[in-house]
Structure 1
Amino acid sequence: MRILFWGTPDFAVPPLRALLGEGHDVVGVVTQPDRPRGRSRSQLDPSPVKLVALEEGLPVLQPAKPRGEEFLAEMQALAPEISVVVAYGHILPMVVIDMPTLGTLNIHASLLPALRGAAPIQAALLEGMTETGVTIMQMVPALDAGAMLHVVRTPIDIDTTYGELHDALAEAGALAIVQALALLEAGASHPVPQDDARATYAAKIDRNTAHLDFRAPATQVQRVIRAFDPRPGAWSTLRDADVKCFSGRLVGDGSDAALDEPTLASPPGTVRSIDADGMIVRCGVGAVRVLDVQPSGKPRMPVLAWSRGRGVAVGDEFTAASLS
C-alpha cells in the first residue's frame, strides 16, 4: 500500500516511524515549511517529521498551504493509494482528501465524538477524564467528523501531565494506525459513523486558558496545572510578577477535610507552607501542593530554590481573581 504521510510536530513522529518499521511503502511526507527562529529570523528549523523523512530518504513536500495546481501535481506524481494525516496543521481541501484511491485517514487524540478540535489532550485533563485514547477516522471536510475505523484507549492517572499523556497518545496513535491499516488490507475494516449529537469540542489553547484561579476547588486547580505541564505552563501572579506552576498534587483528596486549621482559615491563593516537598497553596476548596515553578524570564526550578532566591514566604498570596 502506497502511503502519503502528513504531519509536522513530535506527536506525528511515532506513527511515521511505526509505518516505516512495519514495512509500509511510505512514498512521501507532507509537512509544514521550515520555521524561522532567533532574533534575526534567519535560521530555519525543519519540523520533527521532516527530520525523520530526510533520515529515511523520503520525498518531502512543504507547501505553504496544501492546495494549488503545482502542489496537486507533485502529490499526484507520488501516486498514493492512501493518505495518513496526524497533526499536520492545515485543513485539507476535498480534492486532496479524495486524491488517493483509498481516501485519507486521520489520527485524532481523543475517543471521538468527544473532544473534536485543536486541543483534545489538554481538554481531557481539564475535564478530569480518567480515560482517553486515539481514534483512526476517515477524513471529511467537517471538523473531526469522519467515520471511525479503529480506537485505542489510554488511561489517565490523577497525576498524569500533558507531557506524559501527549507521549502516551503518540505511541497509541502509532499502534492504532498500524492496526487500522492491517484491518483495511485484510478487508476487515468496518467504518462506524459518529453520533454528532454526542460531539464535544476542545478549543484552541490561549493564555487565558492556562491562568490559575485559586478560588476554584483544588481538584480543578490541579487539573489546570497538569493540562499545561510542561508547556505552556499554568500561571498566576504573586508579588506583581507572573509565575508558572508545575507538578501539582492534591493535598489529601482535595477536600477541606484534609486541611489543618490555619490553612482552612486562609483565603484562596495563600501560600501555607514551603519546604523540600513543595509549596501548599489554599484553594476555594482544599489545597494543592506545587513542586516546581518558573518565574518570568527564568528556567523551571524547585519551589524551595525559588522561595530562597525571591524571598517568597508563607502568607504570601497569589492573585485569585480570574481574567476577564
Structure 2
Amino acid sequence: MKIVFMGTPEFAVPCLETCIHFEGAQVIGVFTQPDRPKGRGNKLTPPPVKAAAQKEDIPVYQPEKIKSAQAMEILKGLNPDLIVVVAYGQILSQEILDLPAYGCINVHASLLPKLRGASPIQWAIVSGENETGVTTMKMSAGLDEGDMLHKQSLKLSDTITGGALHDLLMQMGANVLKETLEGIVKGSLTPVPQDHKLSTYAPKIEKRMAEIDWERTAEEISALVRGFDPWPAGLTSLGEVKLKVFTPEVVREDSLKSMAVQAEPGVLIDVDRVSFTVKAGRGAVRFFEIQAPGARRMKVSDYLLGHSLKAGDRFN
C-alpha cells in the first residue's frame, strides 16, 4: 500500500512513524508546511514532520497551497493508494480527496463530533469535558465531518494541562492510526456517520481567549489556565503589569473564611510562601507558578523573592 502522509507539527510525527513501519506499506511522499521563521532570531526552521521524513530519506514536498496545480500534479504522479492527514494545516480539495483508491483518512485529537476544528486538545480542557480522545475518519469536504473509522478515549483529570494532554494524545493518535490501517488492510472497518447535531467547535487559539474573567467560577478559571498551559497561559494583570499564571488549584466556596467569601472577584485573598489565592465568582483559585514580562516561568516562592504580593491586591 503506497501512502502519502500530510502533517506538520510534533503531534504528527508518531503517526508518520506508524505509517513508515506499518507492514506492507510504503510512505512514498510527505507533504508538510513550508519552513517558517521561528524564535527570537527568526531563523528559518523546518517543521518537525519534515525533519522526521528526511531522516528516513522520504521525499518531502512543501507547497504554499496544497490546492495548487503544481501540488496536484505531484500527487497524481505519486499515485498513492491512501493519504493520511494529521494536523497538516491546509484544507484538501475534493479532487485530492477522490484521488487515492482508499481515500484520505484523518487523525483528529477529539471524540468526534465534539471539538471539530484547529485546537481540540486545549478546548477539551477549557470547555470542561470529562473525557476526550482520538478519532480517525474518512475525510470529506466538510470540516472534520467525515465518517468515523476508529476511536479511543481518555478520562481527563482535574489537574491535566494542555501540554500534558497533547503528549498523551500524540501517542494515542499513533496507536489509533495503526489499528485503523490494520482495519483498512483487512477490510474490517465500518464507517460510522457523525451526528452533526452533537458537534461542537474548537477554534484556533488567540491570546485574548486566555484572558481570565475573575467573575467566572473557580472551576472554569482552573480549566482555562490548565487548557492554555503552556501557551498562551492564563493571562491577567496586576495594575499595569501583565502576568501569566499556571498550576491552579480550586478552593471551594465552603472552605473559604467569611471575609474571603465576601471579597470581590479578582481580589487576592491570601499569600503564603509557595502560592497566592485569588477570589473567583464562586470559590477561589490558588496558583503555584507565575511569569512576569521578560522573565521565565517560575515558582511563586521564587517570584516572591523579588516581588511583592499582598492580600487586597486586585487582578484584572
TM-score normalised over the length of structure 2: 0.96
Deviation for aligned residue 1:292: 0.7
Supply the AA of the counterpart residue of 2:210.
Answer: A
Instruction: Write out aligned runs for 1:204-243 (5 A).
Output: 204-243=204-243
SS at match of 1:310: coil
- Alignment partner of 1:50 is 2:50: yes
| Alignment CA distance shift 1:263-1:302 (3 Å) | same
Supply the AA of the counterpart residue of 1:314.
Answer: A
Deviation for aligned residue 1:47: 0.2
Q: Could you tell me which residue of structure 1 aligns to residue 146 of structure 2?
A: 146
Q: Could you tell me which residue of structure 2 aligns to residue 258 of structure 1?
A: 255
Deviation for aligned residue 1:120: 1.2
Find 1:290's aligned residue among 256, 265, 287: 287
Instruction: Write out aligned runs for 1:133-282 (5 A).
Output: 133-251=133-251, 255-282=252-279
Supply the AA of the counterpart residue of 2:28.
Answer: V
RMSD of aligned residue pairs (Cα, Å) = 1.4
State whether residues 216 and 284 of structure 1, in contact with CA within 8 Å, keep that contact through their aligned partners in structure 2: yes
Q: Could you tell me which residue of structure 1 aligns to residue 107 of structure 2?
A: 107
- Alignment partner of 1:77 is 2:77: yes
Deviation for aligned residue 1:307: 2.6
**What CA deviation, in whole Å up to 9, does each residue of 1:130-187 have, x standing for no partner?**
1111110011111110000000111110111000111111111101111011011001
SS at match of 1:314: coil
Q: Could you tell me which residue of structure 1 aligns to residue 32 of structure 2?
A: 31
Supply the AA of the counterpart residue of 1:128.
Answer: G
State whether residues 274 and 303 of structure 1, in contact with CA within 8 Å, keep that contact through their aligned partners in structure 2: no
**Which ranges in structure 1 are unaligned for 5 or more consecutive residues?**
320-324
Q: Could you tell me which residue of structure 1 aligns to residue 119 of structure 2?
A: 119
Percent sequence identity is 40
| Alignment CA distance shift 1:37-1:76 (3 Å) | same
TM-score normalised over the length of structure 1: 0.93
State whether residues 274 and 304 of structure 1, in contact with CA within 8 Å, keep that contact through their aligned partners in structure 2: no
Supply the AA of the counterpart residue of 1:3.
Answer: I
Q: Distance in 2 between matches of 1:67 and 1:127?
A: 33
**Which ranges in structure 2 are unaligned for 5 or more consecutive residues?**
none
Q: Distance in 1 between matches of 2:15 and 2:39?
A: 30
SS at match of 1:116: coil
Q: Could you tell me which residue of structure 2 aligns to residue 130 of structure 1?
A: 130
Q: Distance in 1 between matches of 2:90 and 2:232?
A: 22
Q: Distance in 2 between matches of 1:192 and 1:246?
A: 39
**What CA deviation, in whole Å up to 9, does each residue of 1:270-314 have, x standing for no partner?**
222233432211111111111111112211011122233122223
| Alignment CA distance shift 1:234-1:139 (3 Å) | same
**What CA deviation, in whole Å up to 9, does each residue of 1:51-94 have, x standing for no partner?**
10111111100000102222122222222100000110011111
Q: Distance in 1 between matches of 2:15 and 2:66?
A: 21
Is 298-307 or 213-222 further displaced after alignment? 298-307
Is 169-178 or 72-81 further displaced after alignment? 72-81
Deviation for aligned residue 1:40: 6.7
- Alignment partner of 1:314 is 2:311: yes
Q: Could you tell me which residue of structure 2 aligns to residue 322 of structure 1?
A: none
Supply the AA of the counterpart residue of 1:26.
Answer: V
State whether residues 274 and 299 of structure 2, in contact with CA within 8 Å, keep that contact through their aligned partners in structure 1: no
State whether residues 126 and 220 of structure 2, in contact with CA within 8 Å, keep that contact through their aligned partners in structure 1: yes
Supply the AA of the counterpart residue of 2:26.
Answer: D
State whether residues 28 and 60 of structure 1, in contact with CA within 8 Å, keep that contact through their aligned partners in structure 2: yes
